[in-house]
Amino acid sequence: MNKANRVCDFIMLLGLFIYALSATTSISVITIGVVLSSLGWIGKIVLTKRLEIKNTPLNLPILVFLGVITLSAICSFLPIFQGFDGVRSISEKVLLYYLVINGIKEKKHINWLLACIIGSLCLLASYKVGLSIYNPIFQEQMASDRTLGGCLGMVIPLVISMVFLISSWKIRISLILSLITMVICFGLNATRGAWLGSFFAIVFLGLILNRKILLGLGIIVIFFIFFLPRHQIERATNMFSLQFPSNLERIYLWSNAISMIKEHPLLGHGPGSFKVLYMRYVPKVSKELIDTTSLHTQHHRHAHNIFLHIAAETGLLGFLAFFWLLIAAFRLGYGVAQEDERFRILGLGLLASLIDFVVHGMVDYTLAGKSGYLFWFYLGIVAWMKCKSSSLPDINK
C-alpha cells in the first residue's frame, strides 16, 4: 500500500512538472500534465478510500464561485451542453489549484516547478527575440500576441523576487540573464495591458521588497523609450488615447457587457454567452470605426475585462464570488509573507504576479488560457505555503 501511494504521489508530481514545463508554451501539453496529475490523485483516493482536501481559506470562495457558475449555466438560455462547457473550462483550472496543494510535498518541489516555468518561458522569449532580429516583420506579429504578453507579465515579477530569494550567485546570475531576455521580449511584444500590470507589480515589489527594484524599473523604461521599434513606441504612446481604434473598441465592448448585466443582473446570461450575444449589443458607430476595428464581427470571445465579463456571463453573484476570491487570495498571500520569514520573498513575488493578473485583467480576459492556469497555479502555491507555515524547519529541504 505504501509503495502504491508513493507511485501515486510521483505521478501527481510528474504531472505538475509537465504542466510547469509547458505553462507558457502549449495548452495541449498543459492538459496532459493536469490529466496525468489528476490520475495520480484519483489513484491515491482509491487506495486510501477517502477524499482528502487540505483546508485552506480559499476553499469556501472557490466553492461559492463554482456553485454560482454552475447555477448560471443551469438557468442560462443557452443549450445545457454549451453552458456546462464554460463550467468545465474553469473547473479544469481550479483542479490545478487542488493538485498543487495536495501534490507538492516539499518546498524544493516549488522551487523546481517555478524553475521549469521560468526556464521554458526564457527559451520561448529567446526564440521570439531571435525571430524579431532576423525578421523585422515578425516584430509587428509578436506585438499582437496577448497570450505571450500575459505570461511574461505574470512571470517577470516572480523572477525579480527570486533574484533576491536565491543565495547562490550562479543561480542568481542565471535568473538575471533570464530576466533580461524576458524584458526585451516583453518590450517587443507590446501587450499594453500586461505592460501596465507589470508596472504596478514591480512598483509594489520596489516599495515592499527592495527600493533598488524601482531604480531598475526606471532604467528599463528609459531603455524602452530610446530603443523600442516605432510600432511598439506608437502603441505605448497611444495607450490611453480614444483615437486609437483598439482602445475605442474596448470601450464599446465594456458598454456591451454592461448592457448584458442590466438585462440579467443576478445570474447573467450563462457561461460562454458573451461570444454568442455580443453582436446583439453592438452599438451603431461610424463607418470609419467599422473599417478600422473588428467591432462588427464575431471576433470577440470576451469583454476584455475579467470583472465585466464574469458579471455579464454569471451575474453580480458571480462577480461578487470572484471578487471575494481575489480579496481572500491577497489577504492569504500577504499574511503568509508577513507571518513566515521562509516564505516572505516568494510570497511577495506571487502577490506581485497576482497584481499584474488583476491590472492586466482590467483590459483583457486574463482568466482564460495560459494566464488563467498560471493564476490558479500561483494560488495553489500560496495556499500550500499557508498550510506549511507552521510546520517544522525541514520544510526547506
Q: Which residue type is seen at 298? A: Q
Q: Which residue has the cell 500560496?
A: 382
Band of the pLDDT at 348, cuts 50, 70, 90? very high
- Per-residue confidence (pLDDT) for residue 336, from 0 to 100: 92
What is the 8-class DSSP label of residue 366? T
Predicted confidence (pLDDT) at residue 135 exceeds the cutoff of 90: no
- Per-residue confidence (pLDDT) for residue 391, from 0 to 100: 54
Q: What is the mean pLDDT of residues 239-258?
A: 83
pLDDT 10s digits, 5-42: 899 999 999 999 999 999 999 999 999 999 999 999 99
Q: Quick one: cell of 205?
A: 515589489
- Per-residue confidence (pLDDT) for residue 298, from 0 to 100: 52
* Mean confidence (pLDDT) of the chain: 89
Quote the pTM value.
Answer: 0.93
CB 23 within 8 A of CB 147: no
Which letter, b or e, does each residue of 98-130 get, where b requires 16 or more Cβ atoms within 10 Å of its Cβ? bbbbbbbeebebbbebbbbbbebbbebbeebbe
CA distance 272 to 391: 42
Residue 362, H or E segment: none
CB 53 within 8 A of CB 59: yes
Task: Report helix angle 344-360 to 306-339, nearest 10.
Answer: 170
pLDDT 10s digits, 155-182: 999 999 999 988 889 999 999 999 999 9
What count of other Cβ atoms lies within 10 Å of the Cβ of residue 221? 11
Q: Quick one: cell of 39?
A: 490520475
CA distance 367 to 370: 8
CA distance 160 to 149: 17
